[in-house]
A and B are shown apart, each in its own frame.
Chain A
């Protein structure tokens, strides 16, 4: 019997999700033995026309990671959707928008100008910016169009499952692959990690007092967190309470408050506003002045609360700087 075909594709990606697959270490050999990888740009040399030649649904599972923000990404993911039975959004970027999603605070033009003209280390006396089309020796060359916003994968194509994380932990990947191969998958649209938030498995939750109050914010950039005490209790903004678990608390165990890469829990419509509500409620201010002064101490709310999920937030993007 032919082995099921599996594809990996990356959009606007850092490559971390590819490394996560490699991190399966020797178990990868089991995976490779069980499936037939037909696309993996980072590792294997398959071309567009190879994929185009497949029948619709011929690929069993396609794992797509990276943020979708170029016209090229749109073309590829749409094609892969047609050719695959299951599409799994792999990693924070395709699941939520990811860190590149923070570009939604600006426009594409601003990005290009910043990168090619305004940046301090740029040496571009002629002011050359990449153009969508250019003629060279009579040939028309195209570059993919850059979008003003990062979109989530499921805003462009129909997604069957999501593997969250930046990058998804190896155990989660193995579990997912195993379930697929056995045909024991949860309902379509599920996020393949536990629904409860991080506090449930966080080693520091015991030390969190029931009467937690936050009246002053600390930042990792300027203060050293205590690795034995709940970060919120210390005044650091930890996104754990509004983030799905399943990551093994890798950041916390490295003395870093959770940054929310697994995204919101199923019942929370917006990861950022939910956490702001919880944190603000835990203060002691009882006048508008003191409440405003506490709020002032919260530096860069968008970057802190929506580091991985800005395109998934209710407001989707910022309009201040555009």
Chain B
């Protein structure tokens, strides 16, 4: 059923207090879920600079997940609202570049939501699989020199 065996590569930015701990919980609960996400821990989803997202996509990621605490429950009180505002603007920019907004996910996952973390990874992997590989570097390289 998978077309050419394309395995999406997803980079995740997980906030230490909620989503990273939720991911840990998925692990300690021995949940089985798609192995396509590599997580990077930051203190708060507010630390996630759109520059990181763009860098990940440009360097080979097919999708990027930003996960933080639920609005109202941010460990740093309002850090996640900064993420909430930055991501839609970035998506608009990415769309203009030609990167589908569906490749960037912003999810709220709390420390006790191990199940939800696994669900999000599974769901995102499938969505990205259907979108296909991004291959940004190769495709941009191909158009860099002579016509």
Main SS class of interface, B? helix
Partner-binding segment picked from B18-26, B37-45, B80-88: B80-88
Closest to A285 in B: B85
Asked if A114 CB lies within 8 Å of chain B CBs, one says no
Asked if residues B147 and A315 are in contact (CB atoms below 8 Å), the reply is: no
Partner-binding segment picked from B6-14, B118-126, B138-146: B138-146
Asked if B70 CB lies within 8 Å of chain A CBs, one says no
- CB contact between B139 and one of A305, A314, A319, A321 (< 8 Å): that residue: A319
Bound Cα distance from A273 to B57, whole angstroms: 13
Number of interface residues of A (CB under 8 A): 46
Asked if residues A145 and B84 are in contact (CB atoms below 8 Å), the reply is: no
Closest to A293 in B: B88
- CB contact between A272 and one of B85, B93, B147 (< 8 Å): that residue: B93
Q: Could you tell me the distance in whole angstroms from the C-beta of A244 to the nearest C-beta in chain B?
A: 17
Number of interface residues of B (CB under 8 A): 35
Bound Cα distance from A251 to B91, whole angstroms: 29
Supposing A298-B92, A301-B96 touch, asked if A317 and B143 sit within 8 A by C-beta, the answer is: yes
Asked if residues B51 and A269 are in contact (CB atoms below 8 Å), the reply is: yes
> Could you tell me which A residues sit within 8 Å of B by CB distance?
71, 107-109, 145-149, 151, 268-270, 272-274, 276-277, 279-281, 283, 285-288, 291-292, 294-296, 298, 300-302, 305, 313-322
- 6 nearest CB pairs, A to B: A320-B98, A295-B88, A319-B98, A108-B147, A148-B143, A301-B93
Name 18 extra pairs, CB < 8 A, besides A280-B88, A285-B85: A107-B143, A107-B147, A145-B147, A149-B140, A151-B144, A281-B82, A281-B85, A283-B85, A301-B92, A302-B93, A314-B51, A315-B54, A315-B140, A316-B58, A319-B97, A320-B96, A321-B98, A322-B98
